[in-house]
Amino acid sequence: MSLETIRYSNNPGDISQSIALSGAAIVLDLVEATVIDTVKEELRPHFDQFGSAQRNEFNGHHTQRISKILERSLESASLIGNRKLLSIIDQVLLPFCINYQIGSTTGIEIYPGESEQTLHTDDSIYPLSLPGMELQLSVMWALDDFTEENGATRIVLGSHRWHEPQMVNKVQSEDIVQAVMPKGAALIYLGSVWHGGGANRSNHLRMGVVNTYSLGWLRQEVNQYLTVSEETVMKCSETVQRLMGYQGHGQYLGRYENDPDGYWLGKHQ
Ligand SMILES: O=C(O)CCC(=O)C(=O)O
């Protein structure tokens, strides 16, 4: 088992198989470099102004974090709704739902001097574990090159198959790999995989944006309706609007009377 780096080659099946086996994969060629540069530029002032507010033991004391990324960077819609990426996520999540949605969007900038983040799973927000069913996955976009020295995300390969969370206490350093990847690549990892940010032993920053996608019948991790303004959502494509949560899950869940086909914003089009 290894953390594979795979070029997107119109065969999302190969990538989803690799994710199913190891719990994670790095994917190249999903997005144009200009998109990454624009997102980075749009987020810079927000990191500078608000990034230190979320410092704590878990997030780190030398890490800047910002949430509601779509509100801060309209270009990040190109990451959220990236067609190639969605074709991979379809393979992982659609076996368990009719549609899926954004759970959270977070910018993470690890500064020199930061130590390793505690290993954790993103699924721990849900009081539920159904063996064989994935509840969500996370996509970490590298807005800088991710290196071993600057804090590339640490992944415990195969940990999505653990039956007992206590197994994390037995993890050895050789069980952990770092997601070393070039700027513009995306690390896709299952919500059930144990992982954490790396220590930054370099003298430069490591900026990334991590977006989570959860099954459409689960509650979104962050309340996107209150977090991202309707004005911003209305500037996005229908695909992104749906991903932000403006759709029902099938005929009954999240019912809305003005919704002819499960798409809540249809009336504005
Ligand atoms: O920054 C990273 O590489 C991972 C961060 C993470 O997993 C988290 O904060 O939940």
The predicted pLDDT at position 248 comes to: 94
Please report, for the domain that includes residue 175, its CATH number. Answer: 2.60.120.620
Å from CA of 211 to ligand 1 middle: 11
- What is the domain extent for residue 51? 5-268
Number of domains in the chain: 1
Q: How far is the CA of 168 from the centre of ligand 1 (A)?
A: 16
The mean pLDDT of the chain is 94
Dig out the tokens for 197 from the structure: 């940010």
DSSP string, 42-88: HHHHHHHHHGGGG-BTTTBSSEEEE--HHHH-GGGHHHHT-HHHHHH
pLDDT mean over 232-250? 96
Pocket of ligand 1 (CB under 6 A): 108, 117, 140, 153, 195-197, 208
Helix (H) or strand (E) holding 35: helix 33-50
**How far apart (Å, rounded) are the C-alpha atoms in residues 3 and 15?**
11
Q: Could you count the other beta carbons within 10 Å of the beta carbon of residue 226? A: 8
> Around 156, how many Cα atoms within 13 Å sit in the side-chain half-sphere?
22
pLDDT digits (tens, 9 = 90+) for 51-74: 988 888 989 999 999 999 999 999
Whether residue 269 has pLDDT greater than 50:
no
pTM: 0.96
The answer to whether 103 and 221 are in contact (CB under 8 A) is yes
Q: What is the pLDDT of residue 167?
A: 84
Interval 105-134: pLDDT, tens: 999 999 999 999 999 999 999 998 888 899
Quick one: angle between helices 83-93 and 12-22, nearest 10? Answer: 50
